Amino acid sequence: MKLSKEFKTGVVFLGAIALFIWGYNFMKGRNLFEGNLTTFFSEYKNVRGLNSASKVTINGFQVGKVQNITFINDPSKKGLLLVEFSMEADFEFSKNSEVKIYSDGLMGGKAMAIIPSYEGEMAKSGDYLKGGIESDLFSSVSEKLNPLQAKIESMITEADSLLVGVNDILDVQTRRHLKNSMLQLDQSMTSFKAITNNLNDMLEQNKQTLKKTLDNAEQVTNEFSTLTKNINSELKEAEIATTVKGLQTTIENINSIVTNLDKGEGSLGKLLKDEKMYTNLTNASKELEELLREMKEHPKRFVHFSLFGKKDKAGYVEPVEE
């Protein structure tokens, strides 16, 4: 059977279209000759350069590719990006798994890694998984350098403002005065240095004399201290001797008085030793007590009072002899 040129041309044209469609999908990460694919979605604020056909891995093993990246139309999620990716391998994990974007090599290529979790309900095609971003070396350095850069810029701005203020303060006249002050300070330091050198020379020349003077002063001080100690000691000894002598005299006087009392000499001694005197004093005391009692009970016997100088004999009572 002979085929016409038109039929051959049609077959070639259809083959070219099929090849173009397959190549286009392959470039987008889709393989039309593969079986059913499992599709998942994740949301991100920043995909860090991730694109279609970027690989998807689990534990470092490629299991799929990114199919599509679009903005979410929901107003409540405005600005977020929706990443659609498919899996070829028949691998099960739960909906609690996380999908992180990471750097695939030093050239900055991005890929997605599924961090599988096996707790909870198993994920199925069309589910949304939690998205995350894994910091790489350059991102970490950039995140740490950004605050430092801001601080440096702020310091530079403040230093610039300070220099402007200093320039405003240090005008031509102020700089001239400051220069003169520095010259005078330098001259003062030179003079002070000369005075110090002269003083050092003087001390060096009179070193021996100064040493002898200090030694003599130390010797005088030691001798004066010894003399003071001796004087204090002698004064203390003299005071103690005087006190002891006075105390001894007092004791002797007390002993003499006690001896006289014991012998019955003197009024107090006779009072202590003479029983007759003691008896007389006792009797006199009793008689005085009776006299006072009698005067208290019969005062008219002892006191006579008259307004006109005459004796009032009406109230006089003769004493009764006992």
180 domain-assigned: no
Q: Is the pLDDT of residue 97 over 90?
A: yes
For the stretch 42-57, pLDDT in tens is 999 998 888 888 899 9
For the stretch 239-273, pLDDT in tens is 777 877 888 888 888 878 777 767 766 666 666 66
Contact, 69 vs 50, CB < 8 A?
yes
Q: Give the domain extent around 108.
A: 34-138
Q: Helices (H) and strands (E) in the chain — how many of each?
A: 6, 7
- CA dist 231 and 239 (Å) reads 12
| Helix, strand, coil distribution of the chain in percent, nearest 5 | 55, 15, 30
Length of the chain counted residue by residue: 322
205 domain-assigned: no
Domains: count for the chain? 2
To the question of pTM greater than 0.75 for the whole model, the response is no
The per-residue pLDDT for 217 is: 87
185: number of Cβ within 10 Å? 10
Show which of 138, 173, 208 is a domain's final residue: 138
Contact, 117 vs 96, CB < 8 A?
yes
166 domain-assigned: no
- CA dist 280 and 293 (Å) reads 20
Q: Is the pLDDT of residue 89 over 80?
A: no
Q: Report which of residues 123 and 275 the model is more confident about.
A: 123
129: number of Cβ within 10 Å? 22
Q: Report which of residues 164 and 272 the model is more confident about.
A: 164
Q: Is the pLDDT of residue 84 over 90?
A: yes
Residue 212, token pair as written in the block? 């002898």
Q: What percent of the chain has pLDDT over 70?
A: 77
Using pLDDT thresholds of 50, 70 and 90, give the confidence band for residue 106.
low
Q: Is the pLDDT of residue 11 over 70?
A: yes
Show which of 107, 138, 169 is a domain's final residue: 138
Residue 111, token pair as written in the block? 């890929």
- CA dist 198 and 200 (Å) reads 5
Q: Is the pLDDT of residue 182 over 90?
A: no
Average pLDDT over residues 177-195: 86
The per-residue pLDDT for 205 is: 82
131 domain-assigned: yes
Q: What percent of the chain has pLDDT over 90?
A: 13
Which residues neighbour 117 within 8 Å (Cβ) at sequence distance 6 or greater? 93, 94, 96, 97, 98
The per-residue pLDDT for 322 is: 44
237 domain-assigned: no
26 domain-assigned: no
Q: Is the pLDDT of residue 41 over 80?
A: yes
Show which of 105, 138, 171 is a domain's final residue: 138
322 domain-assigned: no
The per-residue pLDDT for 18 is: 76
The per-residue pLDDT for 316 is: 47
The per-residue pLDDT for 99 is: 93
Half-sphere exposure of 291 (CA within 13 A, CB side): 7
41 domain-assigned: yes
Q: Report which of residues 1 and 254 the model is more confident about.
A: 254
Q: What is the mean pLDDT of the chain?
A: 78
The per-residue pLDDT for 26 is: 59
